[in-house]
């Protein structure tokens, strides 16, 4: 899928009205997927870079599945086109899990996007799984900072609509943005973010996925230096 196809697909997805999903089961089965890059040096945003994608599935705090794939990022990073760079790798990693999670966590925006369909929404729709995005900062949405304690939140608005929410996941750390994505609202995104963070800033599934992807990359760096 090239950039033009992604643009068209995102516009189509943004106009859909999928049924809303709400967390009802306990413990929740939450999956997360990430991509990490490896060439060495500073600045990783180019095309044809070696990349490692990992996906994990947790039931509550229990890790029940994990996969790591080695691949290549076809496109460089372009704001608002993250799906072109990371979509294929992330989709392959999640599909390799071979199971359907209740919800999928991705380090990307959802409705907070110029076409109202960032990578988190795009991938959820593509895989037919409710999804939420978790990022350090919003893409286009704006909002006042939340309170200083764990659980404090504040709305992130785009053209008057709440597309994401600042969430203080732990007292004394910078807040994270919880993004409404495929079949989810900012409220649900914030709830899932808080249920997956206890004492730490980053949600457990995302931490585990990152750890595994970096581990695979660093292992490969030793075996094939200069790659």
Partner DNA sequence: GCGACAG
Partner DNA sequence: ATCTTGTCGC
Contacting residues toward DNA, per CB under 7 A: 34, 36-37, 40-45, 77, 79-83, 85, 107-109, 113-114, 118-120, 133, 135-140, 210, 213-214, 217
Q: How far apart are the first and last CA of the chain?
A: 26
Minimum CB separation from DNA for residue 29, in Å? 23
Minimum CB–partner distance for residue 105 and DNA (Å): 12
> Least Å distance between CB 133 and DNA?
6
Nearer to DNA, 18 or 77 (CB): 77
The helix, strand and coil proportions of the chain, stated in percent and rounded to the nearest 5, come to 30, 25, 45
68 vs 82, beta carbon nearer DNA: 82
Smallest separation, CB 157 to DNA (Å): 14
Cα–Cα distances (Å) from 135 to 43, 173, 193, in that order, read 19, 14, 11
Which strands sit side by side in the sheet containing 103-106, from one edge to the other? 62-73, 49-59, 29-37, 103-106, 131-135, 176-180, 161-167, 153-158
> How far apart are the C-alpha atoms of 132 and 184, rounded to whole Å?
7
Residue whose entry in the numeric block shows the structure tokens 């990693």? 93
Structure tokens belonging to residue 46: 């180019």
Smaller CB distance to DNA: residue 57 or 163? 163
Considering beta carbons, is residue 59 or 71 the nearer one to DNA?
71
Cβ closest to DNA, residue 59 vs residue 221: 221
Minimum Å gap between C-beta 213 and DNA is: 7
């Amino acid at each position: 899928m090239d950039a033009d196809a992604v643009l068209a697909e995102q516009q189509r997805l943004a106009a859909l009205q999928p049924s809303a999903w709400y967390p009802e089961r306990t413990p929740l089965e939450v999956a997360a997927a990430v991509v990490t890059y490896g060439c060495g040096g500073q600045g990783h945003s180019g095309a044809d870079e070696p990349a490692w994608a990992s996906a994990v599935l947790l039931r509550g705090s229990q890790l029940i599945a994990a996969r790591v794939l080695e691949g290549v990022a076809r496109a460089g990073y372009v704001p608002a086109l993250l799906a072109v760079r990371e979509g294929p790798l992330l989709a392959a990693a999640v599909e390799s899990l071979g199971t359907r999670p209740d919800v999928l966590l991705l380090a990307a925006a959802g409705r907070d996007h110029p076409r109202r369909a960032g990578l988190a929404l795009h991938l959820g729709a593509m895989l037919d799984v409710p999804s939420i995005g978790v990022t350090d900062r919003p893409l286009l949405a704006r909002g006042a900072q939340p309170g200083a304690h764990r659980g404090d939140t504040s709305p992130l608005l785009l053209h008057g609509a709440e597309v994401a929410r600042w969430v203080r996941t732990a007292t004394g750390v910078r807040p994270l943005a919880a993004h409404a994505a495929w079949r989810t609202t900012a409220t649900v995104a914030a709830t899932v973010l808080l249920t997956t963070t206890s004492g730490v800033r980053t949600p457990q599934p995302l931490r585990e996925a990152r750890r595994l992807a970096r581990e695979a990359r660093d292992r490969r760096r030793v075996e094939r230096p200069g790659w």
